[in-house]
Chains A and B, each alone.
Chain A
Amino acid sequence: MPNPGSGEPVLRVRGLRKSYGDKVVLDDVDLDVARHDVICLIGSSGSGKSTLLRCLNLLEVVDDGVIELDGQEISDPRVDVRAVRSRMGMVFQAYNLFPHLTVLDNCTLAPRKVHGRSRRDAEARARELLERFGLADKADAHPDRLSGGQQQRVALVRALCPDPEVLLLDEITAALDPELVGEVLTIVGDLARAGTTMLLATHEMAFAREVATKVCFLDGGRVLEQGPPAEIFAAPREERTRQFLRRVLPA
């Protein structure tokens, strides 16, 4: 198993700030993501987890602070946004699959159009991943033929096909039936154990405790506390963290 948390950070965030009008959503956020890290962002709704992920993928223009990917500042306005995004994968809460494309086409679109791979290579890679995630027979179906859990697994495959350096997962089980949450989390767990670098916003505390190398508790746009899951869940330092965990963890 790869050794997490060592070496130069893949993503390095310093003093990140983002506001919408008067509302400050992220306030002076620092974060390091090392290769093979699995970082879980926890916190109540509106604490800034999703916005942080969107900022990292340059879907939002930050108001201040610096984001570095492999040592290169990507919060610089002169940076090639598409090149940066092509090195990250993102999965959204509502799957956001393209309904007019088949599962296979959803997965091969970016490899073919952005990464310039041949259709044959892209399809071979997509089929391999679909097979691994138990979706081999769905390759030619359209997304609306699939269950929520299957759609979210396709979204994961779509994000993984271009072999991103970092995977950003934005509450990817929040829209799923409790029954279907498991099948998606199993896959994410497998990816984590295989050494995929991941940053995920989640409400699944048991999952975070099991797979995370680091847990960050966000509150009011700040990273209030971070550390290994054993520490955060067993002995949180901050009173706010304790309050939050009391509400979300079964007694």
Chain B
Amino acid sequence: MTEAWTPSPREVERRAVRRRRRWLGTLGATALVLLAFTVVAVAVTSSPGWPRVRETFFNGEHARESFPAIADGFWLNVQLFTICEVLILALALSVALARTARSPWLAPLRVVAVVYTDLFRGIPTILLVLMFGFGMPALQLQGLPNSGFFWAGVALVASYGAYVAEVFRAGIDSIHPSQITSAQALGLGRGQTMRHIVLPQAVRRVVPPLLNDFISLQKDTALVSAVAVFDGVYAARDYTAYHFNYTPFTVAAVFFVVLTVPLTRFADWLQRRSMERERAGAL
């Protein structure tokens, strides 16, 4: 089959039709999007209170003035997020493993894991931050930092650890029993089966929901402002308290969006890729 193939006239015509349809589709979609945005923009800007809102939320001068303080504070959010993310992954994986453990010796661990997830998933994160942030330093524990930053971080790890543990557990449970059977048939122990067979597949499967939780965590780092940690949101609130203008809130919001959008796109891309891979397997 070395002879070169040239598409028939019919095929060339079909391709033109497909191309035209794609092009029309793109055009239609673009027009619709523009129309939708225009309608929203007109509706908002023509509302009676718009000049007042623009002045209080979208004031250029206040934005410039509050920017450096918010940027400084936001750096704290980024640090907090990065540190917490690593700790959450470790904690959640341990809890998930403890919950799936079958050995009778590990029964107490399993109970602790169940109680932990039940308790910390049940309590609103904002309450955890308040309780840890104000309560723990008051204990005056030796050898542990007393800063609100530290304890608010602990609260986030505790809260998100419980969520992410359940994501891991769902991933572990989703691996088909036949995989475990065939690992056991090869003589692998329970631990080895988990380590080499179940976990690698489970983790791959739960990456998209994990990223979803981390996008959520990025935003929830703003909760630490409740215990007077000088993060981006607290800096914005500080500014508004002195100048009676809410523009800094908008500035802080933009900071968060700029941080989360790339991760959201990455999560979308990963999800699509894993879907395509699964579909290729089904063919």
- A17 and B6 CA atoms in complex are apart in Å by 11
Q: Are B1 and A220 in contact (CB under 8 A)?
A: yes
Which residues of B have CB within 8 Å of A65?
Answer: 8, 10-11
- CB of B14 within 8 A of chain A? yes
Question: Whole-angstrom distance from the CB of B58 to the nearest CB of chain A?
Answer: 47
Q: Are B17 and A78 in contact (CB under 8 A)?
A: yes
Q: Are B11 and A63 in contact (CB under 8 A)?
A: yes
- CB of A76 within 8 A of chain B? yes
Q: Are A24 and B1 in contact (CB under 8 A)?
A: yes
- A173 and B17 CA atoms in complex are apart in Å by 39
Question: Whole-angstrom distance from the CB of B280 to the nearest CB of chain A?
Answer: 10
In the complex, which range does the number of interface residues on chain A fall in? 10 to 19
Which residues of A have CB within 8 Å of B10?
Answer: 64-66
Q: Are A15 and B8 in contact (CB under 8 A)?
A: yes
Which residues of A have CB within 8 Å of B11?
Answer: 63-65
Nearest B-chain residue to A61, judged by Cβ: B18
- Knowing A75-B14, A77-B14, A77-B18 are in contact, say whether A64-B1 is a contact too (CB < 8 A): no
Which residues of A have CB within 8 Å of B7?
Answer: 63-64
Question: Whole-angstrom distance from the CB of B18 to the nearest CB of chain A?
Answer: 5
Which residues of A have CB within 8 Å of B21?
Answer: 77
Question: Whole-angstrom distance from the CB of B283 to the nearest CB of chain A?
Answer: 9
- CB of B5 within 8 A of chain A? yes
Within 8 A of A (CB), among B8-25: 8, 10-11, 14, 17-18, 21
* Interface-centre pick from B1, B14, B17, B21 (highest chain A CB count, 10 A): B14
- CB of A27 within 8 A of chain B? yes
Which residues of B have CB within 8 Å of A15?
Answer: 8
- A27 and B17 CA atoms in complex are apart in Å by 23
Question: Whole-angstrom distance from the CB of B61 to the nearest CB of chain A?
Answer: 56
Question: Whole-angstrom distance from the CB of A101 to the nearest CB of chain B?
Answer: 19
Which residues of B have CB within 8 Å of A17?
Answer: 5
- A24 and B5 CA atoms in complex are apart in Å by 10
- A66 and B10 CA atoms in complex are apart in Å by 8
Chain A positions 70 through 110: 1 when the CB is less than 8 Å from some CB of chain B, otherwise 0: 00000111100000000000000000000000000000000
> Can you report 13 residue pairs joining A to B where beta carbons are below 8 Å apart?
A15-B8, A27-B1, A64-B5, A64-B7, A64-B11, A65-B8, A65-B10, A66-B10, A75-B14, A76-B14, A77-B14, A77-B17, A77-B18
